[in-house]
């Protein structure tokens, strides 16, 4: 399924922080976890994950350490820092508001479509407002 790239970019940080909140992990595992969680409907351009991880590291939200994979390859592991936990909680509050608001909109739309006195035929959800 194609998801608009702005939406992917906006959700990437909370997704990565959320996955790392489950425990330390590394790039490929994070990408796979996103695919699993979304039932395969959401997948990133794999390469783009790394600049994002490095940006989070630079801002002190995650901490990285080099280790080895089972087959002996160098592998960089990432773990959430306290600042990362804070940022995640903050993002979560923001996304909750967005999700609740959208939920309300979807609900009124379906109510309106079901109701007999709908002022207009169900309008498509194509016009997106600005996101914070």
- Would you tell me which residues interact with other proteins (CB under 8 A)? 26-28, 31-32, 43, 45-52, 54-55, 57-61, 64, 66, 69, 73-76, 83
Buried b (16+ CB within 10 A) or exposed e, 77-109: bbebbeebeebbeebeeeeeeeeeeeeeeeeee
Q: Which is nearer to other proteins, 63 or 112 (CB)?
A: 63
Tell me the closest approach of the beta carbon of residue 26 to other proteins, in angstroms.
8
Q: Which is nearer to other proteins, 21 or 29 (CB)?
A: 29
Residue of 105, 93, 106, 104 lying closest to 132 (CA atoms) = 93
Tell me the closest approach of the beta carbon of residue 83 to other proteins, in angstroms.
7
Tell me the closest approach of the beta carbon of residue 31 to other proteins, in angstroms.
7
Q: Which is nearer to other proteins, 76 or 92 (CB)?
A: 76
d(CA 64, CA 128): 37
Alpha helices in 38-81 (DSSP H): 49-58
């Amino acid at each position: 399924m194609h998801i608009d790239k702005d939406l992917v970019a906006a959700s990437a940080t909370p997704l990565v922080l959320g996955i790392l909140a489950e425990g330390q992990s590394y790039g490929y595992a994070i990408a796979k976890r996103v695919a699993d969680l979304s039932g395969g409907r959401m997948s990133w351009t794999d390469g783009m994950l790394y600049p994002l991880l490095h940006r989070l590291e630079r801002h002190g939200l995650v901490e990285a350490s080099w280790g080895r994979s089972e087959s002996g390859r160098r592998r960089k592991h990432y773990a959430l820092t306290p600042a990362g936990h804070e940022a995640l909680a903050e993002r979560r509050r923001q996304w909750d508001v967005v999700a609740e608001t959208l939920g309300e909109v979807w609900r009124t739309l379906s109510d309106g479509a079901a109701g007999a006195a709908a002022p207009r035929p169900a309008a498509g959800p194509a016009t997106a407002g600005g996101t914070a």
